[in-house]
Amino acid sequence: MLRMRSCILTHLLSSPSAAYPISSLHRLFSTTASPIPANPTFAVQDYLVTTCGLTRAQALKASTKLSHFKSPSRPDAVLAFLAGLGLSGADVASLVAKDPQFLCASVEKTLAPVVAGLTGHGLSHTEIARLFSLGCGIFRCRSIVSNLPYHLSLVGSYENLLRLIKQSPSSLGYSLEKVVKPNVAFLKECGLGDCEISKMCLFSPWILVTKSERLRAMVACAEGLGVPRGSGMFRHVLHAVAFTREEKIAAKVDYLKKTFRWTDAEVGLVVCKAPKLLTRCKDRLQRLSEFLISEVGLEPAFIARRPVMLTLSLDGRLRPRYHVVKFLKENGLLKPDPNYDTIFKLTDKVFLEKYICPHKEAAPHLAQDYVAACKGGVATRRFMFA
């Protein structure tokens, strides 16, 4: 009997395209599962490997959460249910590895009602299968059914919903009335529109489920940095200061001012335009300062008015482009003084067309050296004629 059940499951999981009605699968396994008594020697690890497709290492780790299993009845029913949704063997293996306790779920009391509810909200079995394949424990909770439509309306599309769940799967389990909706209402009071809140759901989902007093403290901190509610950068600053103590933010602002030799007004302008700098490590900021001020020779005030360049990769963009321009100037191939702000912000395609391609004959290896520099191969090497 056990061998027959294993064969059936193997066939189902290896045929993801087959349209097995879930009700039929459940009846099949309820009839085959009921006569099997508890088996005290049931090998969970072997089951996870042979039936679920886990590696030995994954099975060893997962089995610690399934040690109470005495027979394959419950996990067999779950696997059959997943096969009915269309999950492949690889999907099932990934799901079980991420969330071993999914095999403990009741098909009748939990999984079937969840799928029925999601179907009632307009999701197809294919879409539901993709949600399940993420391996998030939240899909073992029936509250997902009532919460999902609201979150779907927040993010605007099914694909965005997948991104939200990957970012913060637990966010769908929070109370809408007590946590999520009040926070959304407060963000709207702060001048954020539906589109901005939707983006915040995708990039900073934890902000929407934090305690209201903490959210208000974040807003106050953003305003304290000189970014008013309703401004275009408010959402970005809010993300940058989220869950960071005010004293730590103040210390980072002070470090920026000292490192780049900015005035209070200049550092305030920088934070408003490029709030991501508040999340950069000190070592990275120090290297940027040394390069732009000491090596390139840019004035602190010039950098402060154009802080976007500070968000670009030093070794992957700024330094290679600087060395290309320096090489061209020293060899008489570039006469006007370049505007480094413009040079640094050009797309790769435009930079190549403007500063590399016109000099193929005079410097045939310039393009090769530049590409290698961007990849870290010759980031500090002087570009030379062939």
For residues 98 and 135, the answer to whether their CB atoms sit within 8 Å is yes
User: Taking the domains of the chain in order of start, what are their residue ranges?
Assistant: 2-137, 141-220, 244-310, 314-374
Give CA–CA dist 177/28, Å, rounded: 41
For residues 154 and 197, the answer to whether their CB atoms sit within 8 Å is yes
* Cα-to-chain-centroid distance, residue 235: 17
Mean per-residue pLDDT, 324-349: 91
Tally the residues of the chain: 386
Q: Is 110 a residue whose pLDDT tops 50? A: yes
| Model confidence band, residue 33 (pLDDT cutoffs 50, 70, 90) | very low
Q: Is 311 a residue whose pLDDT tops 90? A: yes
Mean per-residue pLDDT, 253-280: 93
Tokens of 124: 């197809």
Task: Supply the pLDDT for residue 211.
Answer: 93
CA 71 to each of CA 67, 104, 199: distance values in angstroms, whole numbers, following the listed order: 11, 12, 46
For residues 203 and 163, the answer to whether their CB atoms sit within 8 Å is no
Residue tagged 């990934």 (tokens)? 94
Mean per-residue pLDDT, 325-349: 91
- Most confident stretch, 20-24, 128-132, 319-323: 319-323
| Model confidence band, residue 36 (pLDDT cutoffs 50, 70, 90) | very low
Handedness of CA 5, 8, 11, 12 (dihedral sign): negative
Task: Supply the pLDDT for residue 41.
Answer: 59
For residues 53 and 12, the answer to whether their CB atoms sit within 8 Å is no
Task: Supply the pLDDT for residue 377.
Answer: 53
Predicted model pTM? 0.71
| Model confidence band, residue 35 (pLDDT cutoffs 50, 70, 90) | very low
Task: Supply the pLDDT for residue 337.
Answer: 82
Question: How many CB atoms lie under 10 A from the CB of residue 272?
Answer: 20
Percent of the chain with pLDDT over 90: 50
| Model confidence band, residue 40 (pLDDT cutoffs 50, 70, 90) | low
What single-letter amino acid sits at 65? K
Q: Is 111 a residue whose pLDDT tops 50? A: yes
Task: Supply the pLDDT for residue 13.
Answer: 53
Mean per-residue pLDDT, 232-242: 88
| Model confidence band, residue 292 (pLDDT cutoffs 50, 70, 90) | very high
Task: Supply the pLDDT for residue 172.
Answer: 85
